[in-house]
Chains A and B, each alone.
Chain A
């Protein structure tokens, strides 16, 4: 019985369905104190003085801390990854003499209850000197960091071929200016931490709602001057991440600092307003893209220049704009390409990856270009795409652009992109829809169909780790360096381990997100967990199985070739009454002498270090109708063809795609973080930052292709973010089709109600 490929029901569900999950806010330790953070109300201000006298006197208050109290912890967090062109700056656990965005933490109050802590926060007196702030990407804005007067965090040019010559030679040339606004991951569980200093052990335990517990351990150890083994970080049940929990935040260091300082457990739970103000965001870019093409719609040259808003700090360096720039050509063959950007500081929340990480912008840009080329040449949008897609026989396809990690080019490893698109078109009955829409438009209904293709970079290294152990009671545990915040990795990793070990997923307990489980780990982001973590689990489980067989053959006095396995039991097929079990073999291994020929313990720790990223691909088709008066958009149909390699669990993959499309719909039509000219956030609650509800998201039809990746033993590709990538592009395409040639052109995302109104065609005069 093989479990990889099975629509296995999730192991984590019974506990989550009955209210027995354990999220960070559910952890209550004896003597636990509660922290509340005071955040800067100014986008840019000098901080002259923090007066905590009244707050300290409030009943129940235990401590108040500002920058001056941080001692050696009063320094900037590290920036990862480095880049030669990056002029990076990062935040400290609390703002020092200057606050650089509304929401930057300035002081912490610790009290016996959250109510008391929040009351006392109101009594803190901070003397701010408000300063003009940078709220545009244009040159001349006030400097965010004094030593970087032009606000330039980095400038990068990626190129393949001579784009200027190719543009000059192209029969046709066209230019688009495109803008994308800010949004956020918005997990339903906000961020939060519990930290506990154990003085008897000189050890710190930190529960964090995080996608990267190992990185938190590294940063906490570094800033608190502890050895890594003195810090254990656990990501318990995590209520969604989507990138909002990807970086190490000031609070991730501050709360452990407070726990050690006070020798008491301390809990901090972000509220939703804080999340809107202080959790990182993404997507804001301004593009100017020029394309050269011929009369058949074949792309010949592409030049894109964009400005990227990186906010006040760069905790993730240049990752987001590098992803946009390096993934620009997407699934298309273009001989000459130049993609360049300037990343600029603003007095706003830092920008770091959220679901899609720079790639939705790249897809929006290139797909807008494809629609433009189709319109200019009078050709069908799907057929123009088919003519330009990388073909199956081109694989592996070197796009010629360096990848975002600088480890080589973006090289598509495998896939059949034209088949993916054709299947999406067939699934949607694309040609029939076009005819039906034309007929509907004669009755003055605004109905349109859109199409978009994409590739997604997945399975990012550098490595992931796994430890698989059978203990003396026969329990099988797989520890992984990845975390799980809804992706079902407790189930999928158990499916992988079960196949290698010859048992069932129910026999395997997966522990993810605990630095005590594996010494080294990276975490869950960049659609990497199943790919890199899954292959690491496979390698470790394969080792354990080989070791068990060696021991079993020895114990039963037979050749390994004569072993028969039934679940946890091994027998000699010639003498089936002689049998042994995983538990017995684990006890044997637990007392292994040199003579046994194996190292002690029925366990293995292995790493999977992918040679390169593996690329998923797909195509989406959407059918929309716009209200001719209100311009409200209704999505009438949605079709997905997707190739993420071999599927471990199709049920979970479908859930990932559906959720990712819903998030994409939000960031295309509903969600936008905007700021006024002083840097005050204009969408601070769910009353004005609108997440998609069940009435906004259509039923999706999903079709899978499974082109195995040659880059890992299991043939996997990632999927978690894929569904988000083309949504803005496909809806832009469909909306333009709906409004017709008399209507407007989509050059901005998101499309709020006002922008949709501007797209409506002029009313027909009767």
Chain B
């Protein structure tokens, strides 16, 4: 994905999961492609490439964003968080990931990274969501395997875990 077809190149620098990454990219290179192909962060998946399935959702400056609809150059100077950074440096899982495992909230796992990033951002702002609110939040993420029921339960569990942790802190 280096320079081709006479396109001008741009040097970009992005803080990805807390670490600065650099690349020289053509203007139309998608954020998803630079993450996956240049930086090897293949946890972000492409399901539809037209902004409808949500599998490619990452956090761009904290906001859930379809990385298939954003050019890499638009992330220059910004911060991107992907599923690879969710659990931090430790060996364990993030509480939301843990809840997904306990509730069997994933099957093929392809949509899962986008759903995790969508929910992480939501739960940060809404620590005590109702089931309909969780379902509404998930309505931009397609999952073909689970029927969503276990995902909703996992999100509610993770919210409760988060509240308990906040109360004891």
Contact = CB atoms under 8 A, between A and B. Distances in A.
Interface of A: 9-10, 12-14, 16-23, 25-26, 28, 58-60, 112-113, 115-116, 119, 185-190, 237-240, 242, 271-272, 485-488, 651-652, 654-655, 658-663, 685-687, 691, 693-695, 697, 699-700
Contacts of A651: 104
A28 B143 CA distance: 26
Main secondary structure of the interface of A (DSSP, over half): loop
Given A18-B97, A60-B4, A693-B142, A685 B52 contact: yes
Contact of A28 (B37, B107, B111): B37
Given A18-B83, A18-B97, A115-B28, A700 B144 contact: no
B145 A694 contact: no
27 contacts: A9-B101, A10-B104, A13-B101, A17-B93, A22-B42, A23-B110, A26-B42, A28-B37, A59-B6, A186-B144, A188-B47, A188-B144, A237-B108, A239-B108, A239-B109, A240-B145, A272-B47, A485-B108, A486-B145, A654-B104, A655-B107, A655-B147, A659-B146, A662-B146, A686-B50, A693-B141, A695-B135
B99 to A, nearest CB: 10
Contacts of A663: 144
User: Most A CB atoms within 10 A — which of B28, B84, B109?
Assistant: B109
B136 interface: yes
Nearest to B103: A651
Interface string B151-162: 110000000000
Interface in B35-64: 36-37, 40-50, 52-53, 55
Given A659-B144, A694-B138, A25 B109 contact: no
Given A12-B109, A59-B5, A697-B147, A19 B28 contact: no
B142 A691 contact: yes
A32 to B, nearest CB: 10
A59 B86 CA distance: 39
A409 B30 CA distance: 55
B49 A17 contact: no
B45 A59 contact: no
Contact of A17 (B47, B52, B109, B143): B109
Closest 7 CB pairs of A and B: A19-B43, A239-B110, A16-B109, A486-B108, A658-B147, A486-B107, A662-B147
Given A116-B4, A272-B50, A686-B53, A188 B150 contact: no
Contacts of A21: 43, 109-110
A186 B145 CA distance: 10
Contacts of B101: 9-10, 13-14, 17
Given A188-B53, A691-B142, A18 B108 contact: no
Interface string B122-149: 0000000000001110111111111111
Contacts of B72: none
B82 interface: yes
Contacts of A19: 41-44, 82-84, 86, 113
Nearest to A657: B147
Given A113-B1, A115-B1, A17 B148 contact: no
Given A188-B142, A699-B149, 20 more contacts: A13-B109, A17-B109, A19-B43, A20-B84, A21-B109, A25-B42, A28-B37, A188-B45, A188-B110, A188-B144, A190-B47, A239-B108, A239-B110, A652-B104, A659-B145, A685-B52, A691-B144, A693-B142, A693-B148, A695-B135
Contacts of A188: 45, 47, 53, 55, 108, 110-111, 142-145
B28 A13 contact: no
B67 interface: no
A18 B139 contact: no
A483 B40 CA distance: 26
B102 interface: yes
Contacts of B65: none
Given A188-B55, A272-B47, A18 B86 contact: yes
Nearest to A698: B149
Contacts of A697: 147-149
A695 B136 contact: yes
A26 B33 CA distance: 11
Interface of B: 1, 4-6, 26, 28-29, 36-37, 40-50, 52-53, 55, 82-84, 86-87, 93, 97, 100-102, 104, 106-113, 116, 134-136, 138-152
A486 B106 CA distance: 8
Nearest to B48: A272
Nearest to B2: A113
A694 B104 contact: no
B93 to A, nearest CB: 6
Contact of A115 (B4, B44, B136, B138): B4
Given A14-B93, A113-B4, A694-B138, A658 B150 contact: yes
Contacts of A652: 104
Nearest to B44: A19
A625 B14 CA distance: 49
Contacts of A59: 4-6
Contacts of A187: 108, 110, 144
B93 A238 contact: no
Contacts of A23: 42, 45, 110
Nearest to A691: B142
Nearest to A7: B104
A441 to B, nearest CB: 25
Pick the most buried of A13, A190, A238, A240: most chain B CB atoms within 10 A of its CB.
Answer: A13
Contacts of A655: 104, 107, 145-147, 150
A700 B101 CA distance: 20
Nearest to B6: A59
A13 B108 CA distance: 9
A13 B135 contact: no
A17 B116 contact: yes
A654 B146 CA distance: 9
Given A17-B97, A685-B52, A658 B109 contact: no
A278 to B, nearest CB: 15
A486 B136 CA distance: 25
B106 A17 contact: yes
A663 B147 CA distance: 8
B107 A694 contact: no
Contacts of B152: 694, 699
Contacts of B104: 9-10, 651-652, 654-655
Contacts of B111: 188, 239
